Every structure is written in C-alpha cells, then in structure tokens.
Structure 1
Amino acid sequence: MSPVLSPEEKDDVLLACRYGDLPDVEQFVAQFGPDSLNDIRDDLGNTVLHMVCANGHIDVLDYLLKIVSPSLLSVQNDAKSTALHWAAMNSHLEIAQKLVKHPQGPGIDLIDIKNDAGRSPLGEAENNGWEEGAKWFVEVMNLDDEGKEEDELKPAEGATDIEVEIQDADGQIAKMKIASPSSAK
C-alpha cells in the first residue's frame, strides 16, 4: 500500500519531474517507495510521466520506466492526453520512442489513443508541424488490415483512375493520379 502523501509532497515530485531533477525524484522514491508514483496526479490529471515527457527529460524517464507501473504509460489526463501526446506536442522523438518501445507497455497501441481534441499522438505531431515524429509514428504504426476479408480489398468492378489536386498552405498545387488496379496491369 502506498503511503498517504501531502499535497505538497505530490507537488514537489511533480515539479521535480517537470524540471528533470533526477536526484529529487530518487529521494522521493527512497522516502515513499516507487509505487507511490503511480497514483500521483496534478489538478489536471497529469502524472509524473506527463511532466517528464512534456519536457524531454530522458534521464528521469529512464529511471521512472524501471519503477512505475507500465499501465501509467496509457493514463490519460483530464484532456484525455497521454504522456505520448505530450511528447508529440513538444517534439521529443527519443521520449516518444522510449514510451512506445517500453517492453512492458502497450507498445504501438499508444499511438492510437485519442484525446479530447480527437487527435492521436500522430495527429498532435502533424498538428504541430513535427514531421520527424509524424514520420516515425507512421513507420511503427500497425497499418495491417487485420480481420478484413480478401474480397473487401479487391477493387470495385469498373474502377477508374482518380486525379487529385492538393493545395498546400503556400498556395502551391500538386497534382497526382492514382491508377485503378485494373489500369495498372
């Protein structure tokens, strides 16, 4: 059972995580035990992982991932954002990779969790213009069409080529032609 912590003790460890103060986090764990970290939340539902991941403190994250419950990786705050959302919002690639690759964690399923804004961590990366992170999320995501019948993946009879025009934010237009499977043969 975790000890009963005062609001000040909770705030102190959350601030230590926010500012990347590993010695203070270690001292807290020595005093109260690692399990006490699992239940700590701020007024907005943020965990110690939210604080560390938002601010890119890899050394503190490495320490915490060894001692906190793996379920903490998928905990959502009041805005339904996970620590991975916060890493994506702040362009912390190594942090995002450690969260997704954590052996006991939910893995790539973390990338599919949506927040109140309806965005996944990939969506947050794209929304913030973080191309490197968005590219990495797409590379590791599970894009398989599991459970789909083979017939569902066949093109419709009489399918034709599609031409698409896309305008970027600078007004530049890109044209693209998507060939139907029947015309690609």
Structure 2
Amino acid sequence: MASPTTDEKDDFLLSCRYGDLDDVKQFVAQFGTAAAAEATDDNGNTALHMLCGNGHADLLDFLLPLVPASLLAAQNISQSTPLHWAALNSHLEIVKKLVQFPGGPGGDLIDIKNAAGRSPLGEAELAGWDDGAQWLVQMMKLEPGGDGKETEGDVEAEDTDVASTGGIEIHIEDADGQMAKMRIGDP
C-alpha cells in the first residue's frame, strides 16, 4: 500500500474536520488504517481530534473501530485529547462514544489533564456545558478513601446512605476553584 504525501494527510485531516465521510473512506481505502491513525497536523492533532471537536458522529462511527484504541487518549501539542475537544465544544454524543468505546480507556479518559491543567470535565465546566459535565461525573471512577489531595475536576463522595437519600451527593471543584454540589441517582 502506498504512503500518503503530506498534502494527502492534510486533506484527510481537513476531511475529518469538515465531516466529509466519502473522502475519509477513500483515504482509508487508498492508504490503510495505519495511515489514518498516524496522520497528525503541525499541532499534533489526530483525525479523532478533528472530527470529535466538530461533532461528526458518522465519521467517529466509521473510524473508531479501525484505529488503535490508544488514539482515544492521544494528546496534541497542548496535551488535549479528542475528549477534551468534544467536551469544550459540547458534543454529548461524541463524548459518550469516546468514553463508552469497548476496548478503549473508558472513564480513564476523563482524568487526563491538558497543559492548562484541565480535564475534559474541567473543559466542559469552563464552557458552561452542564449536561456534559453531569454525564462525565456519572462516568467517573469514584474511589472511596482517596489520598485526600484535591485538584481541579476531583470528585468527593459524601458519606450518605444511598438507599435513604435516593442518590449520592458529590462535590466538584470547577476550573475557577469554586465547589459545586451534584446529586447522582435521584429518583
């Protein structure tokens, strides 16, 4: 299989950015899945960064099963992952597909911080995207008895009886250092 030129890789990434599924399929057919997985721009953005940041679920459905699961956690020059971009741009369907992808990093994606020190949850909060932030919190791996150190995006479970309260209350420190309370599992 032939290797793509720099221009062909750039065109492929633009196709991912603008949601051109036919061009993406043509690139994969011509150059293979490895070339699709390895393509990056000058800022280290992958095909997943481009399509996740722009909400192209059809492209994600096509590419995700073809590329290595490690690409879900790929960080660009700013250490942002495709999930950071999806959260920043309020694409809930994309966020769900990334976190719930079988064989992928799952909830661990939510803990990855970019160069600004923000997790995808922190990006969602900074963007004022409450629905996405709530969904991400529900998908986080809450571990009782942590080390006591809190950083942006950390979640702390309250000592409550889930059966008697109908859920658990968590406290989240947002990007500005403010504490927010959220209840998960209310009837």
Q: TM-score range by the shorter chain?
A: 0.7 to 0.9
Which structure: greater helix fraction? 1
Task: Assess if the C-alpha contact under 8 Å between 2:44 and 2:77 holds in 1.
Answer: yes
Cα separation, 1, equivalents of 2:131 and 2:15:
28
Task: Assess if the C-alpha contact under 8 Å between 1:3 and 1:36 holds in 2.
Answer: no
1:135 counterpart residue number: 134
2:86 counterpart residue number: 87
Shift of 1:37: 1.1
Task: Assess if the C-alpha contact under 8 Å between 1:13 and 1:24 holds in 2.
Answer: yes
Cα separation, 1, equivalents of 2:33 and 2:145:
38
In the TM superposition, 1:48-127 aligns within 5 A as: 48-127=47-126
Task: Tell me the SS of whatever aligns to 2:103.
Answer: coil
2:175 counterpart residue number: none
Classify 1:20/1:109 alpha carbon distance in 2 versus 1 (closer, same or farther; 3 Å).
Answer: same
Shift of 1:147: 7.0
2:42 counterpart residue number: 43
Cα separation, 1, equivalents of 2:83 and 2:2:
28
In the TM superposition, 1:156-175 aligns within 5 A as: none
Counterpart of 1:54 in structure 2: which amino acid? G
Cα separation, 1, equivalents of 2:2 and 2:134:
42
Task: Tell me the SS of whatever aligns to 2:64.
Answer: helix
| Number of residue pairs aligned between Structure 1 and Structure 2 | 150
Task: Tell me the SS of whatever aligns to 2:13.
Answer: helix
Task: Tell me the SS of whatever aligns to 2:104.
Answer: coil
Shift of 1:67: 0.5
Cα separation, 2, equivalents of 1:113 and 1:3:
35
Shift of 1:146: 6.2
Counterpart of 1:22 in structure 2: which amino acid? L
Q: State the TM-score, normalizing by the size of structure 1.
A: 0.77
Q: State the TM-score, normalizing by the size of structure 2.
A: 0.76
Cα separation, 2, equivalents of 1:72 and 1:147:
29
Stretches of structure 1 that go unaligned for 5 or more consecutive residues are 149-154, 156-175, 177-185
Task: Tell me the SS of whatever aligns to 1:53.
Answer: helix
Percent identity (aligned): 60
Cα separation, 1, equivalents of 2:16 and 2:125:
26
Task: Tell me the SS of whatever aligns to 1:67.
Answer: coil
Task: Assess if the C-alpha contact under 8 Å between 2:27 and 2:36 holds in 1.
Answer: no
Stretches of structure 2 that go unaligned for 5 or more consecutive residues are 148-158, 160-180, 182-187
Deviations along 1:21-77, one digit per CA (max 9) or x if unpaired, are 000000001100111111111000000000000000000000001111111000000
Shift of 1:3: 4.4
Cα separation, 1, equivalents of 2:116 and 2:50:
20
Runs of 4+ in 1 over 3 A off after TM superposition: none
Task: Tell me the SS of whatever aligns to 2:102.
Answer: coil
Cα separation, 2, equivalents of 1:117 and 1:147:
23
Shift of 1:6: 1.1
Counterpart of 1:65 in structure 2: which amino acid? L
Counterpart of 2:141 in structure 1: which amino acid? N
